[in-house]
Structure formats: structure tokens, C-alpha cells
Amino acid sequence: MAHYYFENKPQPIGKSGKRISSSLHHDYICREQQYAGIRGRDEDLVYKASGNLPAWAKGDANTFWAACEANKPANYRAYREFKFSLQEELSLEDNIAMVKTLIERSGIGANHAYTFAIHDKAAAFDPEHRNIHCHLMFNEKIIEPGRPLAADAYFAKYAINKYGEPTGGYKTSREFISKQKTYELRTMWADICNAKFAERGIKASVDERTLAAQKDELLALGRTDEAEYFDREPAPHLGSAYRNPKTMEKIREKIEQLESCPEDESYNFDAELTENTDAQSEKILAFAKDYLLRKLGKAIQIERERLFNEMQSEKAEDKEQEELSYAVTAGDLTERLTTLITEAEEKENAFWAEYKELKNSIIKDDYIKLNATYAALGDEGDIYRSLRLDYSAIKKEIDLTQKERDTAQARAENLRGDISSISEWQAEKETYNTAKNKLLTLFAKRAELGKKIAVFKHKLSSEEMSALIAEYTEEIKDTNKEAAQKAKDVYRKYKFRKDQAERYADVLRDLSKLNTNTVIFASKIPPALQPYTKILGTTPVSSLDKITANKETYYILQKNDKDNTALAVKLNDDIVKGKAAVYTLTISKDTENKTAISDVKLTGKISTYAQNSTLKKQAAKGQAYPSAVSAVNRKITEIASKLTEDKNMRIEAYWQDERAAVRDKLQEAEQKMTQGWSL
């Protein structure tokens, strides 16, 4: 979802009291040098670029920032950094374009050497969203295109000689120091984001203003429900806590605790704060509260937009749509539930496969230290692993060969002296000798492998390697814990889909007891045939040809000129269970040569409502009724959802057909479901 964050900060001072190295910071944001292989950090870099580098840097930003650190005066800033959020609704290309627009509009592109990097990873507390952001670092020296300077002069102090000519290094900009400039930059970035949203037709926006300012505007507009969620303190910055698995787990637990609070109860945040509450716990509680309030506020905004769009859509529908009559049958629900079961089972199987994969990725406790050892050895870890596996395989082969040798020796001893078994004795002796020679070869291989393994063990016995193994051991344990938690979450999703499929199947079994044409729900069917009544829910009676005779008016459904007959419905006839009587008329001419009806016979019935099966047949003939199809499908989905959400609900025919009805255990629930729709 659209998210706004923008920070303008100078080169920071580290714990040592010295400014953090610009070269080191460049390597960090670009994931280069010592940061190139940091576990969990390299995969989030999706784009990096630099601009306005001097000729002596030869296009290498690392060379520029290293020279900056080596040549700048001790008390000068090497860089200033903008850190700001990008938008997950937009493509990477769009986000890159916005960063370049900011560089251009802010003047950095015209005056300063810069590097920027874009990181993209799953949001820490909401894996369905992305944490995509940009680090833009730039040197505040103002480049003079007509006065190129070497590395040792570029970062030197700026001065003017007695002739008014610049000497020394380039002048340092003070443009980005003030709070006012930061406000301007924040507004500039919000405008750039919102312009890109509008360009792409995305209904989203960001706001650079403070929470208080946004709240005041919403109150002035009378949108008090939304304003309430801006009545809060901004979330605290947790710093390195994000990289501490234990702290992360505490934050997740607090968010889950707050989310599980019943809707009819209010959570007392202040009650958790006591004199003994430490600073970190206060931060965790404040962060969790802010996270949920922002999430809820966004949900309200999305729901408001959805309702507005829905209202606009409803206003756009014409009167014909408003008068639509339709029905949902047992067959419709069967078809829909069959699809839902298939979809639920597909998701169930996918979650199960993901769960098994996660479980298999968890290293068993007995093998954690061994895997940590392989990791500590780096590239040699695979060699050490292969040596151990080969050693284990040869040990097993030695055991089997020794058993084969001893068995042959025992058999040969039993056959010794028996002249009739001399050939068998010779065969056992041969087997014995073969096994004995094989053992000599295997012992030699084992000894050779043992020497190689001993070299590794000696290397692993150093204090440095022991510390590294301990570090990797903790890392594997943390990874195991994360995988176990994720497996738990995935299993919960799997179980939900499995239970869902079973609920669908239960309802499907009830439906199987009904005739597929049994009407479960009907909408806006009049008690008698009128001109506005629609045959099959799609064709208005008034659009048909009509014949009036003997004070009765008939509307022609189908005419047969060969035998002067026609199928017709009669005005004001009762509509019973959604169907009107169909008559066969014999048409003749009276004495005045006017059309007359000489005979009328009741021959059948026809539906006055749209039905899924008939709509499909009409569509196959090229007669499409999208509004009717949409209305029927919406109602089918609604009823299917209600039936599967309430385990006590049972299906009952809309028109009480005693042969087909399955009685509802909760009549009130059924009535509530169809309230406002009954005849």
C-alpha cells in the first residue's frame, strides 16, 4: 500500500566519535566489498547508479568516495543522505524514474556527485507488502564544470584569491541544511509520487504532512472516523532491533496480541506502561500500536473508496437492470461449490507442499554444529563434507567386507578334510582371499581420507574457527526458528483451506439430495404476468407481439404460420413458483377479416426469471445478457458463502416442494438470509 517516508540527514557520527566513512557507507548501500556477501542483505539490492563523477574516478563510485574520505578536511562532511520510501504499487522502472526526477528537481543532478541504491524486500511485519526504499548519498561540493579538479584538490577548502578567482577545492553547498529545505524536499517527493500514481491510473496517494495536520484536515471535512487514526504519535525508530530475532519475535507477538483483541472491546495501551517498563518495551508497544492504527486507517480508506465506486456503479445501471428477475437453483450452487472445492484443494495442496519444504529446511539439532562447521570453512566446507561422507561410506564397506571375509573363513573351516566338498572349500577360500585383498585396499583409502580429515580438524581447533562456528551455530538456530514460525503460519493456512474444502463438500452432499432445477432463491418475481415481466428474466413481455380477443390479451412467444398456431402467455395470469402458463392459440379470421382466436389450450409453463443454465444457452445462440449473468453469479457466490460459513445452516427450496426440500435446522437464519427477497 502507498507509504510515505523521507529523511534528510548529514553524514552521521559513529560510536567512536568519528564520522562514518563515506566509502564504507557507499559499499553498504550498494552491497559491495565487505557487504557483498552479507547473509540476508545482498538479495535486497535491486538497482544502483551514480552520476556526475569526475574524470579521475573513471566511472567508479567506489574510487570517488574513497578519495573523498582520504582527501577531505578532517572536520568536513563527506556526504549528505536522503533516505525515502518508494511505492510497491509501481514497477521498479517507475520507481527509478521517480528517483531520477527527484535528483533533477532538487538540483543534485546539476551540481553534485551522487550515488543511489534501491533496496526491495518483504516488509518486516506484513509479508504481503514490500519494503522498497532508496538511499541517495551525495557530496555537497558544488561542481564547477569549467574548473575540473584532481582528487587531492576536489575536496579541499574553498577560497577566493585577491582577484576574486576561486582557488582550492569546490565550494560546499549549505542549501540542504535548513528545516525549511527538508519540508520543501518532502513536499517535492510527495508530489512526484502522486503524479506517477495519477499517470498510471492508480487510486493511491501519499501525504508528506504531519499526522496532526492530516487529522485537522479530515476533521474539517467531517471525516471523523478516518481522523481518529491520525490521533497518535509517530512510530518510534527501532534501529538495530530489526536485526535481532528475539526483539522481532516480541514485536510480532505484541501485534498478534493487539490484533486478537475482540471487536467489542477496547485495548488499554496505557495499562501496559508501568514504572518498571523498560525503554525498549515502550518502543515495541508504541510501534505495534502505530502499525495497527496505520493498517486500520488504510483499510477504512480502501473500504470508503470501494463503497463510493460501488454506489457510482449502481447509479449507472439503467431501470431495466433494476427490474431484473432471476433465480438460483441447486444446480447453480452445485456448479459453484464444485469450483470452490477445486480452488480450495489446489491452495491446500500448495500450502502443504510449502509446509513440507519449510519443515525439510529446518536442520535437526544433532546436525546444527556440523552444518555450522561446513559454513565456517567457506568454500572448503564442501570438500570437508565430501571427505566425511566418503569416510563414512568406506567404513560401512569395510564392515560389510569383513563380515563377508569372516563368513567365508568359517565355511572353509567347516569343509576342511571333507574330500567330497573340495570344490566348495576352494570357492570359500577364494571368496576369503578376495575379501582380504579388498580390505587392504579399503584400509589404505580410509587411512588416506583420515589424514585429510585430520588436517581439517586441526584447522577447526583454532580459537578463531571455534568462534566462527559458534556464530554460525547461532545463525542456523535463528534461521531454524524463522522457518519453524513460517511453517506454523503456512500450516495454519493449509488447515484453513482443508477445512474450507470439507465445508464445501458437506454443503455439496446436501445439495445432491435436491433436483438440480430446484429453486433455492428468487428475486423480484411479480405475482402476475405484466407488460414489464421478463420471459426467462431477459425479454420484456411488452416487446412481444400481442393479440387481444374475448377481452384477453396474449403475448406471442412463437408463431407457426403453416398451421396458424402460436405459443403465447396471457396478461394478468398468475405466476406460480416463478413460472407463467403457456397456451397454444389457434388463430383465425372473423367475419370482418380481423384476427381472432378460435381455440386456446394450456400446453406448458415458462420461467419469468433469469437462470444460469438458460443464460448460458442464450449466450451460445449469440444473445448475451451480461447484467443478468453478473447478478445471478453474485447471488450464487453470496448464497454459497453463507451456506458454508454457517455450519448449522441447511438448504431449503425457495418454493416449498415437499419432495425436494431439505429442512433447515435454523429457520431464523434462513429467513434472515433471504430477508427482503421473498415473494
**Residues with Cβ within 8 Å of residue 410, at least 6 apart in sequence:** none
Q: Are residues 44 and 113 in the same domain?
A: yes
Confidence of residue 161 (pLDDT cuts 50, 70, 90): confident
Q: State the average pLDDT over residues 40-52.
A: 80
Q: Are residues 45 and 183 in the same domain?
A: yes
With contact defined as beta carbons under 8 Å apart, do 83 and 134 qualify? Answer: yes
Report the candidate in 331, 344, 258 with the shortest Cα–Cα distance to residue 294: 258
User: Which stretch of DSSP H or E encloses residue 570?
Assistant: strand 565-570
Distance CA 130, CA 90 (A): 11
Distance CA 609, CA 613 (A): 12
Is 642 contained in some domain?
A: no
Highest mean pLDDT among 517-531, 576-590, 609-623: 576-590
Give the CATH number for residue 95.
3.30.930.30
Is 106 contained in some domain?
A: yes
Q: Are residues 276 and 376 in the same domain?
A: no
Q: Report the alpha-carbon angle 293-298-304, nearest 5.
A: 125
Give pLDDT tens digits for 189-203.
999 999 999 999 888
pLDDT > 70 fraction of the chain, expressed in percent and rounded: 75
pLDDT for 662 equals: 35
pLDDT for 94 equals: 95
Is 449 contained in some domain?
A: yes
Give me the domain span that covers residue 382.
366-482
pLDDT for 251 equals: 59
Instruction: Cell numbers for 358, please give them.
Output: 519449510
Structural domains of the chain, count:
3
Task: Count Cβ atoms within 10 A of the Cβ of residue 97 and give its class: 0-12 exposed, 13-18 middle, 19 or more buried.
Answer: middle
pLDDT for 544 equals: 92
Distance CA 518, CA 327 (A): 10
Q: Are residues 204 and 90 in the same domain?
A: yes
Output the 3-class SS for 499-547: HHHHHHHHHHHHHCCCCCCCEEEEECCCCECCCCCEECCCEEHHHCCEE
Among 422, 456, 482, the domain boundary falls at 482
Give pLDDT tens digits for 83-134.
999 998 999 999 999 999 999 999 999 999 999 999 988 766 566 678 899 9
**Residues with Cβ within 8 Å of residue 525, at least 6 apart in sequence:** 325, 327, 575, 578, 608, 609, 679
Q: Are residues 134 and 15 in the same domain?
A: yes
Residue 319 has phi, psi (to 5 degrees) of -65, -30
Give pLDDT tens digits for 566-603.
999 999 998 887 889 999 999 888 777 777 888 899 99
Give pLDDT tens digits for 424-469.
888 998 999 999 999 999 999 999 999 999 999 998 999 989 999 9
Q: Are residues 50 and 178 in the same domain?
A: yes
pLDDT for 262 equals: 46
Is 389 contained in some domain?
A: yes
Instruction: Cell numbers for 562, please give them.
Output: 403453416
Distance CA 68, CA 579 (A): 87
Higher pLDDT, 667 or 34: 34
Give pLDDT tens digits for 257-296.
555 554 444 444 444 545 555 666 666 666 665 665 556 5
Among 179, 208, 237, the domain boundary falls at 208
Placement of cell 523498560 in the chain: 278
Highest mean pLDDT among 36-50, 168-182, 496-510: 168-182
Confidence of residue 650 (pLDDT cuts 50, 70, 90): low
Instruction: Cell numbers for 54, please give them.
Output: 569526475
Give the CATH number for residue 430.
1.20.58
Asked whether residue 297 carries a pLDDT value surpassing 60, the answer given is no
Q: Are residues 16 and 132 in the same domain?
A: yes
Residue 6 has phi, psi (to 5 degrees) of -150, 125
With contact defined as beta carbons under 8 Å apart, do 605 and 587 qualify? Answer: no
What b/e sequence results for 201-236 when a residue is b if at least 16 CB atoms lie within 10 Å of its CB, and e otherwise?
eeebebbbbebeebbeebeeeeeeebbbbbebeeeb
Instruction: Cell numbers for 648, please give them.
Output: 448449522
pLDDT for 313 equals: 57
Is 70 contained in some domain?
A: yes
With contact defined as beta carbons under 8 Å apart, do 11 and 98 qualify? Answer: no
User: Which stretch of DSSP H or E encloses residue 495?
Assistant: helix 463-511
Task: Count Cβ atoms within 10 A of the Cβ of residue 496 and give its class: 0-12 exposed, 13-18 middle, 19 or more buried.
Answer: middle
pLDDT for 328 equals: 80
User: Which stretch of DSSP H or E encloses residue 373?
Assistant: helix 365-376
Q: State the average pLDDT over residues 131-140.
A: 94
Report the candidate in 386, 330, 325, 398 with the shortest Cα–Cα distance to residue 653: 330
Asked whether residue 230 carries a pLDDT value surpassing 70, the answer given is no
Is 603 contained in some domain?
A: no
**Pairing state between β 539-540 and 546-549:** unpaired
With contact defined as beta carbons under 8 Å apart, do 39 and 243 qualify? Answer: no
Distance between start and end Cα atoms, the chain: 44
Among 187, 208, 229, the domain boundary falls at 208
Please count the other Cβ atoms lying within 10 Å of the Cβ belonging to residue 247.
Answer: 17
With contact defined as beta carbons under 8 Å apart, do 381 and 374 qualify? Answer: yes
Asked whether residue 391 carries a pLDDT value surpassing 90, the answer given is yes
Q: Are residues 370 and 257 in the same domain?
A: no
The region of weakest confidence among 67-76, 441-450, 613-622 is 613-622
Using the 8-state DSSP alphabet, how is residue 574 labeled? B
Q: Are residues 22 and 140 in the same domain?
A: yes
Q: Are residues 161 and 266 in the same domain?
A: no
Is 117 contained in some domain?
A: yes
Average pLDDT value over all residues in the chain: 80
Is 197 contained in some domain?
A: yes
Distance CA 314, CA 512 (A): 35
Using the 8-state DSSP alphabet, how is residue 170 labeled? P
Distance CA 105, CA 54 (A): 21
Q: Are residues 391 and 307 in the same domain?
A: no
Q: Are residues 459 and 402 in the same domain?
A: yes
**Residues with Cβ within 8 Å of residue 20, at least 6 apart in sequence:** 11, 12, 13, 14
H helices of 14-118, where?
A: 22-30, 61-71, 92-106, 108-111
Give pLDDT tens digits for 305-361.
566 566 555 554 444 444 567 778 888 888 888 888 999 999 999 999 999 999 999
